[in-house]
Amino acid sequence: MPPSPWRRSRTTCRWRYGLADRLGLPLRTLVLAAHAKVLAALSGDREVVTGYAARAGGRVLPCPLTTAPQTWRGLLLEAALVEVDLLWHRDVVVDELCRELGVGGPSFETVFDPVDGGGGMAGDSVLHVGLSTHGDRVALRLRYRTDALDADCAERIASYHLTALALMVADLDAAHGRASLLSPRSCASSWTGWR
């Protein structure tokens, strides 16, 4: 499974650091909120579950997220609350708990890795979104199963993440539900078939 190219935007990253600093939140929380928005847009569901790599090389935990809040700020704060709760409980042995309760294990097709630990793909996951920092540079890295996604699809998903972050930074109090993650070029090409 070849990794997709690293996606970087130095200017956007500075803005994101500024927003994270202003809100007193880690950058990973902004990216997690953007990831929730992207998954909701792709699935058509407001409630989504992604895997969350709470420790480099550690067990991936289920991370339920919602895009129910109306504004980017609300979405971001909701993601922050979920993340804090998840990190607080990261030592819970999920497999053991599932066996004890008689339920199936966690099910998710995507993994969010806030430190881009570079580990293998988790379980049945199709897409792995990693956040990597190198000094003042931030990179969003996508790895994907080539039997499920092609390079063009992975690039579009990466661009949706970057668009969500840019929209969040542009107006934190805007309604995210009306925001399109498609670039103007993507919108134009998708309408071509309708002529």
- Tokens 């109090």, residue? 173
2 vs 126, residue with greater confidence: 126
How many CB atoms are closer than 10 A to CB 99? 11
Paired residues of 141 in beta bridges: 130
CA 159 to chain centroid: 12
* 104 within 8 A of 120, measured Cβ to Cβ: no
Classified as helix, coil or strand, 44 is coil
Mean pLDDT rounded to a whole number for the chain: 76
Strand ranges across the sheet with 60-66: 60-66, 47-53, 110-113, 127-134, 137-144
pTM (predicted TM-score): 0.80
DSSP state of 4: P
Asked whether the predicted pLDDT for residue 33 surpasses 70, the reply is: yes
How far, in Å, CA of 71 to CA of 107, rounded?
28
Mean pLDDT, residues 45-56? 86
